[in-house]
């Protein structure tokens, strides 16, 4: 399959009439799959009402079909068409964070969306992205758009069109290149079907920010229990992983350096994932800083790009620092632990 590439300047007025947007929207209405930029990561978009389109998303990603997809909308009229009701809590969160990196779980209307898109669940995950290109494309298509991250399942999520090309060139109909994304990690997913909102996936909106708007917010134990059926993307299976095994270390730079020296002594090519503050504290084959520890938002923004950079370095093993689980650090550590797939190495004091 020939994968088209459309470059779109997100600052252009009336993006909905931009020729590239019009063409990409037409392809979406034909139930083909198109990658599009959002403020979090690039999404792999398809008509959420079509089993054919959703099946193409799963096929391109190699994604298990029991993992539900997030439905992207451009306006609240689209929301009313796909959900049964909007609780007051959800309304408050939408008013505060939409458009933005917040996905809300609601009870769905039966018969409107593809059952494949919601993995047969009675609920649906919906968000309104804060990216002019994404909003224009959704509006131009006139469809709710199912869109997981635009990468091969298990690999680091894409934050540039180049990342999408690396994974999916020849496997999808097109890529809308709207430049690099901003937030870096995916949206926060909150279940609003019960009395108290529950975070199903940490992301670009923090628990603290949510609680300022609606009061108490819980965190679902399914975040750490893979045996439970997922109501949200990112709740099951290994995600975000570089090619080489990644081990997270709870220790200081000298503790990590000992592990590096040990593996280099075995003849392995070793990488270290660190921060700008600590990058000169190591001696390893490859050292990549991932943002600034003093500003965790920069770590989130650079996270997937850094994980992908290790693939190009051809290392055999990677050791990574851990981060405080406060604010966006919760989302960072969620992604890193899923990328690792191994228990954190605890260095004895």
Q: Is 240 marked within a binding site?
A: yes
CA nearest to 56, candidates 65, 46, 43? 46
Q: Is 63 marked within a binding site?
A: yes
* Residue 267, C-beta contacts closer than 8 angstroms, at least 6 positions apart: none
Q: Is 187 marked within a binding site?
A: yes
Q: How many Cβ atoms from other residues are within 10 Å of residue 287's Cβ? A: 18
Q: Is 67 marked within a binding site?
A: yes
Q: Is 127 marked within a binding site?
A: yes
Q: Is 201 marked within a binding site?
A: yes
Q: Is 149 marked within a binding site?
A: yes
Q: Is 157 marked within a binding site?
A: yes
> Is the Cα torsion angle 160, 162, 165, 166 positive or negative in sign?
negative
Instruction: State the Cα torsion 243-247-252-256 to the nearest 10°.
Output: -70
Helix axes 207-214, 88-97, angle to 10 degrees: 120
Q: Is 141 marked within a binding site?
A: no
- Known binding residues for ATP are 63, 67, 123, 149, 157, 201, 240
Binding site listing:
40, 63, 67, 72, 123, 127, 147, 149, 157, 187, 201, 240
Binding positions for L-threonine are 40, 72, 127, 147, 187
């Amino acid at each position: 399959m020939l994968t088209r590439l459309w470059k779109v300047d997100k600052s252009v007025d009336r993006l909905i009439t931009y020729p590239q947007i019009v063409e990409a929207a037409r392809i979406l209405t034909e139930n083909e799959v198109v990658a599009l930029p959002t403020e979090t990561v690039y999404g792999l978009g398809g008509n959420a009402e079509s089993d054919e389109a959703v099946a193409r998303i799963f096929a391109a990603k190699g994604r298990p079909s029991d993992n539900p997809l997030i439905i992207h909308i451009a306006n609240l009229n689209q929301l009313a068409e796909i959900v049964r009701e909007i609780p007051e809590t959800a309304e408050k969160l939408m008013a505060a964070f939409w458009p933005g990196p917040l996905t809300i779980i609601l009870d769905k209307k039966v018969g409107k969306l593809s059952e494949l898109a919601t993995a047969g669940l009675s609920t649906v995950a919906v968000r309104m992205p804060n990216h002019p290109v994404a909003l224009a494309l959704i509006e131009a298509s006139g469809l709710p758009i199912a869109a997981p991250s635009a990468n091969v399942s298990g690999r680091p999520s894409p934050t540039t069109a180049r990342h999408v090309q690396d994974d999916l060139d020849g496997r999808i109909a097109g890529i809308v290149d709207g430049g690099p994304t901003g937030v870096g990690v995916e949206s926060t997913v909150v279940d609003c079907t019960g009395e108290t909102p529950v975070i199903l996936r940490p992301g670009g909106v923090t628990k603290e920010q949510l609680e300022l708007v609606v009061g108490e917010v819980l965190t679902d134990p399914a975040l750490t229990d893979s045996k439970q059926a997922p109501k949200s993307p990112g709740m099951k299976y290994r995600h975000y992983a570089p090619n080489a095994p990644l081990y997270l270390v709870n220790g200081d730079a000298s503790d990590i350096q000992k592990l590096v020296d040990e593996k280099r002594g075995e003849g392995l090519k070793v990488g270290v994932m660190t921060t700008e503050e600590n990058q000169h504290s190591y001696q390893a084959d490859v050292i990549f800083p991932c943002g600034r520890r003093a500003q965790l938002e920069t770590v989130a923004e650079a996270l997937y790009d850094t994980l992908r950079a290790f693939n190009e370095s051809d290392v055999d093993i990677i050791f990574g620092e851990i981060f405080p689980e406060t604010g966006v650090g919760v989302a960072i550590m969620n992604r890193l632990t899923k990328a690792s797939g191994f228990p954190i190495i605890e260095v004895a004091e």
